[in-house]
Chain A
């Protein structure tokens, strides 16, 4: 079956672009080096027939190992604590690929650094990623290189923060978007 051999196929074709392959809850997830994501996607689309991008999302892994949430709560109160996870792995971009012909799904993960997050864009291979990458930029601040139209999609253009980051409070920053006068 394709899924059993996928690790060997990918490692033989793409070598060091693949960091790890794991299977979880019946789904295969492959972690890919950030700079090689376009090569991996092109290979998957052309050779292995994963022709449909179901979803693309970003994720913020700040204090992920702490299920009690205590460290995250403290991080909001006291900013810039140095004992958080290293910023080279803070953000993650997750791709869900689907193959119509083989009736299979695949998950790709890319780790992006935290200080100035940049990731290559896959819109040239999967045009469906267009608005999803804009959403990841709007919510997390991850810049996608090569995207034709990198601007905010949900929040107003003048909004200065990135809402889904773990250090942005749920109720927002008062005064960040002005209300009309009564």
Chain B
């Protein structure tokens, strides 16, 4: 939300409002956990009492894509499941961010076989890749913090349609 003035700079009031929006957005990211296999267990631990994700404002694990803005894909994505992942991604409203958790989602992982998609970024734009098999919950917290940094510094989500148009050109 910015007003473009004639000299290209944004006004004082709009930057402050932007900063306020970004602050509230980054401190209340509601994740949509797409837990498919082993990484889902680490994601549950990440939401559990020890590696508490509630202190980041993200404990509202809505299982409905219509009510969330951060998609965490956790677990091996097969060709049969790819359609479902894309459908869930499409159902989420903008602005949305995607974390691909684990090596299986980022690049196929240890499964070089006929039924595993070698990397989810072939059909879903990804913001943060988390390596590990499975990644420790602390790595996932770091990924969440990276997305928070990105929002704070005003970077657009990769999933933003405007940004996608820029990337495609």
Which chain A residues have a beta carbon within 8 Å of chain B's beta carbons? 154-156, 163, 168-173, 176-177, 179-182
Which chain B residues have a beta carbon within 8 Å of chain A's beta carbons? 79-80, 82-83, 86, 112-115, 117, 122-125
Partner of B82, one of A163, A171, A172, A179: A179
Instruction: Evaluate whether A179 and B117 lie within 8 angstroms (CB atoms) in the complex, with A155-B80, A156-B79 already known.
Output: yes
Are B113 and A172 touching (Cβ within 8 A)?
yes
Instruction: Evaluate whether A181 and B115 lie within 8 angstroms (CB atoms) in the complex, with A155-B80, A156-B80 already known.
Output: no
Nearest CB of chain A from residue B135's CB, rounded to whole Å: 25
Are A171 and B123 touching (Cβ within 8 A)?
no
Instruction: Evaluate whether A182 and B113 lie within 8 angstroms (CB atoms) in the complex, with A156-B80, A177-B80 already known.
Output: no
Most A C-beta atoms less than 10 A away, residue of B86, B115, B124: B115
Cα of A181 to Cα of B125 in the assembled complex, Å: 11
Q: Chain B residues with Cβ under 8 A from A163's Cβ?
A: 114-115
Q: Chain A residues with Cβ under 8 A from B122's Cβ?
A: 179, 182
Nearest CB of chain B from residue A152's CB, rounded to whole Å: 10
Q: Chain B residues with Cβ under 8 A from A180's Cβ?
A: 82-83, 86, 123
